[in-house]
Structure 1
Amino acid sequence: MKKRKLVLLFPEKIVTRPITYKLVKEFDLEFSILRAEITPDVEGRMLLELSGDNDQISKAIEYLENTGVTIQEAAKDIIIDKDSCVDCGECTSICITQALSLDNKTGKLIFNKDKCILCELCLDSCPVRAIKVNM
């Protein structure tokens, strides 16, 4: 099973259509909405993780593009500067998905990229600015 994180941009004319429903029904894909900003009759932006057969994911992406959805790979990554990080744990308290945690034995910061939804809350919580976004 393949996984891909995508950013979907919905123009105003299709923002209220049940497009993601078809990803399950017609392409047998699983998806997780990691982040969404939808304004009916204006626009929509969604960070989605698709899981399923690689061919089906490709067909689903083609379907989305044909319906007018703009698709971008989720190219953002959270980068932690290990030299600057003081392992204070401030970022772990704000991380809603627990992608950031402190190792119980070493006290060092651990980042689990698979759990990260790129909400960027950790950026402002870091007192030494050791957390950055790589675009």
Structure 2
Amino acid sequence: MTKRIVLRFPSQIVDKPLLYHLVKDFGLMVNVLKANVNPRKEGFMVMELSGETSSYDQGIDFLKKQGVTVEKLAEDIVRDVDRCTHCGHCTSLCPVGALYIIRPSMEVAFDEEKCIVCGLCLKACPVKAIELNFNGR
């Protein structure tokens, strides 16, 4: 099982080795997609967490017992194909290749599975054909 999740850490636990325990104690694979963790402040992390279902559930329970808020990733990038002019600006900034140019047609394509919701493409698009879809907060 692989899921994309959002972790929010209270300031008193940002210095604990929680990811280490997910890997070592529960045998989970961690892929950090985006993070902002500062001492004495709340931490925020978007990650993919993979492993056996029972290990995954145990790892999530562990995080919650430590005081971490665990949420399903509820934001994603949405591209308005009708509005897109296929200029390619977004493709030059996408760090994971989720936005790319199809050759020889030179059309911009979007692979949602690769997207890490970094938001760089939002700023790059001159016609605002890319939006952040945030379900929840």
- Category of TM-score, reference length = shorter chain: over 0.9
Q: What residue in structure 1 maps to residue 123 of structure 2?
A: 124
Length-normalised TM-score, structure 2? 0.94
Q: How many Å apart are 1:92 and its aligned residue?
A: 0.3
CA–CA distance in 1 between the matches of 2:113 and 2:20?
23
Q: What residue in structure 1 maps to residue 105 of structure 2?
A: 106
Q: How many Å apart are 1:105 and its aligned residue?
A: 2.9
Q: What 5-or-longer segments of structure 1 have no aligned partner?
A: none
CA–CA distance in 2 between the matches of 1:38 and 1:94?
24
CA–CA distance in 1 between the matches of 2:29 and 2:67?
21
CA–CA distance in 1 between the matches of 2:81 and 2:41?
41
CA–CA distance in 2 between the matches of 1:129 and 1:76?
17
Matched, 1:61 2:47: no
Q: How many Å apart are 1:106 and its aligned residue?
A: 2.3
Q: Aligned with 1:114: secondary structure?
A: coil
Q: How many Å apart are 1:8 and its aligned residue?
A: 0.4
Q: Deviations over 1:25-57 (max 9, x none)?
A: 111110111111011121210011101112211
Q: What residue in structure 1 maps to residue 51 of structure 2?
A: 52
Runs (4+) of structure 1 exceeding 3 A deviation are none
- What pairs with 1:32-51 in structure 2 (closer than 5 Å)? 32-51=31-50
Aligned residues: 134
Moved more, 106-115 or 30-39: 106-115
Q: 1:106 to 1:54 in 2, by over 3 A?
A: farther
Q: How many Å apart are 1:124 and its aligned residue?
A: 1.1
CA–CA distance in 2 between the matches of 1:9 and 1:35?
12
Amino acid at match of 1:54: T
Q: What 5-or-longer segments of structure 2 have no aligned partner?
A: none
Q: How many Å apart are 1:114 and its aligned residue?
A: 2.1
CA–CA distance in 2 between the matches of 1:113 and 1:52?
21
CA–CA distance in 2 between the matches of 1:104 and 1:76?
29
- What pairs with 1:58-97 in structure 2 (closer than 5 Å)? 58-97=57-96
Q: Aligned with 1:21: secondary structure?
A: helix
